[in-house]
Structure 1
Amino acid sequence: MVVLLRQFNLSDIPLLVKYLNNTLVTQYITDAIPKPYTQDDAKWWVSQCQEDSLFKAIEFNGKFVGCISAQLGQFEYNQSAELGYWLGEEHWSKGIATKAVELFSQSLLEQHALVRLFVSVVSTNTASIRVLEKNNFVLEGKLSKASYKNGQYFDELLFAKVIEEK
């Protein structure tokens, strides 16, 4: 299994549109993603991310399969980053997300002065929870009714990986 992280390119546009119009893919990720997700949305995304090291395309065996990103903290939170990731449905349960989180976490910690990586994940997203656990992220707490999507409140679980010595 070969999982690579790379910059986005124009050839990713058709699959971005396909993946992000699948409600199973978008059910747990941000509502900031337009619905429906169009070619223009994908073109804008690719143009915004091509030069940014905090946004990576996930490639599996030579094919674009998803996205992983980080938002660096600011001010007193400048030693931390929040991760986000998703995969196209047909690529679930193959270890791809686990490997992508491993690679991206290593890269973030090497390239930035970070001591903390964290993810807030919907409590019913058991697959993502397992990805985080396999990458040694630790459950720090539950945020009750932290998000509201499609007429429903969701609890979120806060997972983090803290580097003890820096």
Structure 2
Amino acid sequence: MPCLGHALDILARIPLWKDGLDYRHGTSHRIGSYLNVHEGPHLISFRPHARNVPLQASMTVTDEPGYYEDGNFGIRLENVLIVKEADTKFNFGDKGYLSFEHIAWAPYQRKLIDLNLLMPEEISWLNAYHSTCREILAPYLDESEMAWLKKATEPISA
């Protein structure tokens, strides 16, 4: 059964929908060429054409859920991902499963995160993400940049 971007968009919005909130843009789009970032054919969105092209391994996508209050503020986290074959314990129906892998790495600004809103597994995910950021970025940084990266990616305790 193909994985359509329309279905994933719904799943991404559930945490906001539970509180009667939403965002007015798609959850994801393809990484295009020549700055044409919204180049098709696949996307993760509420738009009707997100029902037409299933995601496949090796496709690139953004991950950019957000929330905005008109005239007040906006929040959007945006990462670049690649769709890949998932390494699952089982393969029910012999259909294969997909997952996402980050291909752009930057630490999240921790002082903008309200830790009281995070569940322990979300803190674990953030710590693992920051650890990978350090591992991937360290070979490219000088001493002062590395000092900044270490501070920006220190583990958060629950």
Shared fold (TM-score, shorter chain, > 0.5): no
TM-score by length of 2: 0.32
The structure whose RCO (Cα within 8 Å, separation 6+) is larger is 1
More strand by share: 1
- Of structures 1 and 2, the larger Rg is shown by 2
TM-score by length of 1: 0.31
